[in-house]
Amino acid sequence: MQVEIAKVPESPSVAEETSVWPFLFGLALTAFLGGLPVSRPFALSGFALLLASAVGWTWSNVLRPPPEEGEIGGRSRLWWGMVLLIVSEAGLFLSGLLALTAHPEAFARDLNRPLTLGASLVLWSSGFVGGWAVKRMDRRGRFTGGLAATIALGLLFVGYQAFEYRRLYAEGFTLQSGGQGSIFYFLTGLHGAHVVGGLAMLGAILGLALARRIGPSRAPAVRAVMLYWHFVDAVWVVLYAVLYLRLF
């Protein structure tokens, strides 16, 4: 009697699982924020690398063949990887918020609350539109339309932030404006960099969807990107409450 031994699937090698994109994304973010107060060309280089790494990271994860057994607790490994990234990025924002305890005078200046609230509602609504789109991945027209709307809303927010920076600089409120200037621009600039990174990821997903390169097997990558976008929305809820409403 011949006994067949079940073949155990080979585990993916370390080389297959290792990705350089998260490292490049973090390096680009550091270069961008570190270069802002000292070197504009260096900051712009970091910004360009941030865009490239966000697109490359998303593109490679969406096109990569999905693992046969890639779930942990009902969630994909990519989803959990994004959770770890979000936790580490949340620490950066927390460090900036903790700086407020050392600079209680940091917000003697009144900021434009009503106009910024309008821009905030635009950003927050993009999260609802994006979530709606992800739930309709099986309907290509609605999925791509929802993603395009999400990106458009995010771009409107970035455009407002650029307008606000220009106005504040014209009034003499700069990075060199004591504790308030450094904390304000660090936190809002950090958030803005995350918004731009998220837009690059969403743009890559939209491009692949338009090229018909996204199917049900790529859903975990799309959900991971949308989780990141929800994180960007949630962070701005806190920043608006702290920086503009002074709820701290």
pLDDT of 11 over the 80 cut:
no
- Mean pLDDT computed over 85-108: 74
Q: Could you report the per-residue pLDDT of 25-60, keeping only the tens digit for each?
A: 767 777 776 666 666 676 677 767 777 777 776 666
Query: Which pLDDT score is estimated for 157?
Result: 96
Choose between 146 and 219: higher pLDDT.
Answer: 146
In this structure, the dihedral spanned by the alpha carbons of residues 108, 114, 115 and 117, taken in order and rounded to 10 degrees, is 100
The yes-or-no verdict on residue 222 having pLDDT over 80 is: yes
- Quick one: average pLDDT of 197-206? 90
All structural domains of the chain: 84-244 (1.20.120.80)
Residue with tokens 């099986």: 138
Q: Cα separation of 195 and 198, whole Å?
A: 5
The pLDDT mean for the chain works out to 78
pLDDT at residue 119, as a whole number: 94
Residues forming a β-bridge with 42: none
Distant-in-sequence, close-in-space partners of 192: CB < 8 Å, separation ≥ 6:
158, 161
Query: Can you tell me whether residue 52 is helix, strand or coil?
Result: helix
pLDDT at 57: 66
Q: What is the pLDDT of residues 146-166, one digit of tens each?
A: 999 999 999 999 999 999 999
* Predicted pLDDT at 244: 86
